[in-house]
Structure 1
Amino acid sequence: MGIIAQATASGSDVLDEATIQQTLHQGLEGQYTNQRVLALIPDHTRTIPLGMLFRQLVAALHDVAQLDFMVALGTHPPLDDDALYQLVGITEKERRSTYRHVGLLNHDWDNPGALAEIGVMKVDQIKAIAGDVWHPSLGGDVSIRINKKAMEYDHILIIGPTFPHEVVGFSGGAKYLFPGISGADMINVTHWLGALITILKTIGVKETPMRAMIHAAAECIPTPITLVSMVVLGTDLAGIFIGDHLNAWSAAADLSSERHIKWVDKPYQRVLSQAATMYDELWTASKAMYKLEPAVADGGELIVYAPHLETVSHVHGKYIYEAGYHVRDFYLKQWDAYQHIPLGVLAHGTHLKGSGTFEDGEEKPRINVTLASKIPEAACLQLNLGYMDPDSIVPADWMNQEDEGVLYVPKAGETLYRVR
């Protein structure tokens, strides 16, 4: 298929709504006449002008037989009706009238009956993809399971942004299938493989073993797939690419590498990274650490400043409190004590703690990670994180100190900072 429609803003500009509308209609209108279409969309933890896009997509797909939007949750909590309406930017009245024919669904990831096995990724294939970083902790064959609704439609349409990503290098594309609407096996193995490689060697890298695993799994899906991949700048679009999921994602990743990576001349000793309020649990707010870790000096401190945050994880909190946040080798060298913890949770644990070593029973993280949120000090101690009272922080005091090795990032989580 290749790319069938695209638009890219020049320089630091963004696309106007008329250009976006024209591109969507050029790429989608009349392509799925009388077909059943399943559109996969992100939840509220990704920045995208979904309200505007939802209306334009429904208009462009006016001649389809059935149009349903499914939130590709991965393992995020499901959204209730009001949250779904807010996500796509419609009122309850509009839901009952203008958009009554459009389905709004959550990925039912926690219901085994909602999933179908469409293949198995053999351990030898995983070893070949992982290469030198393969480790027995990855386990054996991996069941490729996906929401069975993906096979009940004539076409799958993925709508989502692309940013630098801690697990796969750059997000978007087939990631809306795995982990977006997949079962736990692929989620756990891809995330743990990323943790074995470490964020520093993954984030902002286009071609990674985890991306290769996702693309291999996507080949098992019998339903045709089209991707609408976007690069977001602020709350606007800097680019939009429509085509097959490989080429459209590739073009978006290239543009994301230009728009979403900020290069600095030297690493910082202290970073105050303020998590965006759309991250309502530490599970997602940790992106405020992931995107800044490469710009923190050895022995430096990164403060995840999230004064709105009071929950570690609605879904995975029990396991996170049991495992704590540690460097990778802390888990690997004590595997008997941690092998019962889901690999995705262990991956999250080492992603937030960052790189480091564990030798002779002593853990030495490369940087110090401190949490300033409503999560109390005792909980931070249990989790093996530093604590700072969020009320003691005045962001203005952190501004304009780059020359002194201090950086304040007011809306962290999507822009990647790297040292030249």
Structure 2
Amino acid sequence: MPWFVERSEEIAPTRIRELMEQAVSEAKSRICPHPKRVLLLPPDITRMHSGAGRMTEILYEILHKECDVHVIPTLGQHEPHTPEQNRAMFGAIPNERIHAHHWIETVVPVGTVEADFVREATGGAADWAIPIELNSMLMKEPWDLIINVGHVVPHEVLGFANHNKNYFIGLAGKSTICASHIAAACCGIENNLGTLTTPLRACYNKAEQDYLGGLPDFYIQIVMARSADDRLVHTGIYVGDDLETYTLAARQSREQNIKVFEEPIPKVVCVMQEDEFVSTWVANKAIYRTRMVMADGGELVIIAPGLKRFGEQEEVDRLIRKYGYVGTARVMDLYRKNADLQDLAHAAAHLIHGSSEGRFKITYAPGHLSREEIEGVNFGYADLSETLRRYPPDRMKEGWNTSPGGEEVYFIPTPSAGLWSTRKKLYERPTGYEC
């Protein structure tokens, strides 16, 4: 069970500081009474709206006077933060205390989730082992206390972020990320979304049990929801060192972050914030989180003023431009035939996740990519200025809106913070999935 839980309609900022102090106090009594070296593992800037960066800053404020405190944003294969991004995300934490994870250069081998376990967990959809490579600073340096801070929200690979996602994606190496993501894609994104224990989550739980049992770590799990006045506020803080800490937070997220509809929606408009979403690798969360509610033949419009590339790394960007978002069958055919996709299997998984399978139209209104670039990866293109006039985000609230032109659309200002689905798609799950 969690060490403690705070749940309310809105957790005030002053109360969050008290909860961080309580978390540190509990850790001292349960893990290490006088920690000297502390590692903080928050999400990266693509979760800036979660407030996890401010919580990390508070933890640093509490601990740094008596401890040697370091921070590793759990980047996975995302681009390292600039100093400016570190300040935006983590406030007054000194930049030299924040260390960049690199999925190839800063990892060491830890173990393997064997193929037999993967095969059983995925029902045969994946039949390969998942090598476990993790950040070398995490695994090789001595730590008295490790604090994972994460936003629990519906997720396309693990059903719900967070918990040990911080390790096995956020601080993982290339072989782990690639083998994991293609396995999850083979299980089907719409089977994963909103599921408490996906096949890949079961594999990560196994890896944590087998290889990370000796870490002096615990989790701070954040749940957020929309308030009555349409603000994204903190509604749950779960603190503990076990799987139940995640599970209870995910159940609350399932209650608060999934909107269920009886009928599919023909037109959805989303906004991906300029300071968080600069690649389709992360901006495609607008597709992931709405695809289960989209009507056949409908249109998803994504307003992305910060969009300037497709992949987070140059080589992944190149693959997305080369192959495009062309649907599961075509991507898997390309994957079997092309060594570059096999080498970067997580990119193949991403191409699957980002396709509508031809079922609905995806239209991007990007800030920095041309029509030719957008259409070249199989998306529709819309001019950003014209789209902002047609669907002004500052004049719409989440839910049904009538645009200035008289069109009825469903508007989602922060799609990465939830999941939208029809009742049929959410509750018709494959046997064996813990929903």
Q: Which TM-score tier does this pair reach, normalised by the shorter chain?
A: 0.7 to 0.9
Distance 1:110 1:297, change over 3 A: same
Report deviation, 1:173.
Answer: 0.5
2:417 maps to 1:419? no
1:55 & 1:21 partners in 2: Cα distance? 10
The aligned counterpart of 1:150 is 138
Distance 1:213 1:304, change over 3 A: same
The aligned counterpart of 2:169 is 179
1:216 & 1:64 partners in 2: Cα distance? 35
1:300 & 1:103 partners in 2: Cα distance? 47
Matches within 5 A, 1:202-217: 202-217=192-207
Report deviation, 1:192.
Answer: 1.3
SS in 2 for 1:418: strand
1:387 & 1:67 partners in 2: Cα distance? 46
Amino acid of the residue matched to residue 239 of structure 2? I
The aligned counterpart of 2:385 is 391
Amino acid of the residue matched to residue 4 of structure 2? A
Within the candidate set 253, 267, 270, 2:264 is matched to: 267
TM-score by length of 2: 0.84
2:162 & 2:66 partners in 1: Cα distance? 25
Matches within 5 A, 1:114-263: 114-134=106-126, 140-151=128-139, 152=141, 153-219=143-209, 220-221=211-212, 222-233=214-225, 234-263=231-260
After superposition, the CA RMSD in angstroms is: 2.4
The aligned counterpart of 2:363 is 370
1:26 & 1:331 partners in 2: Cα distance? 48
Amino acid of the residue matched to residue 114 of structure 2? K
SS in 1 for 2:81: coil
Deviations 1:235-282 (A, max 9, x none): 532111110141211111111111111122311112222222221211
Within the candidate set 401, 406, 413, 2:409 is matched to: 406
1:263 & 1:333 partners in 2: Cα distance? 34
1:89 & 1:235 partners in 2: Cα distance? 20
Amino acid of the residue matched to residue 194 of structure 2? G
Matches within 5 A, 1:222-371: 222-233=214-225, 234-277=231-274, 278-315=276-313, 316-341=316-341, 342-354=344-356, 356=357, 365-371=358-364
1:282 & 1:332 partners in 2: Cα distance? 20
How many equivalent pairs are there?
393
SS in 1 for 2:45: coil
Amino acid of the residue matched to residue 267 of structure 2? R
Amino acid of the residue matched to residue 24 of structure 2? L
Distance 1:104 1:366, change over 3 A: same
Report deviation, 1:62.
Answer: 5.4
1:239 & 1:8 partners in 2: Cα distance? 4
Report deviation, 1:404.
Answer: 7.6
The aligned counterpart of 1:3 is 2
Report deviation, 1:331.
Answer: 2.0
Give unpaired runs (5+ residues) of structure 1.
357-364
1:326 & 1:213 partners in 2: Cα distance? 28
Report deviation, 1:51.
Answer: 5.0
Amino acid of the residue matched to residue 333 of structure 1? D
CA contact (8 A) 2:401 2:408 kept: no
Report deviation, 1:311.
Answer: 1.6
2:52 & 2:132 partners in 1: Cα distance? 29
The aligned counterpart of 1:66 is 68
The aligned counterpart of 1:361 is none
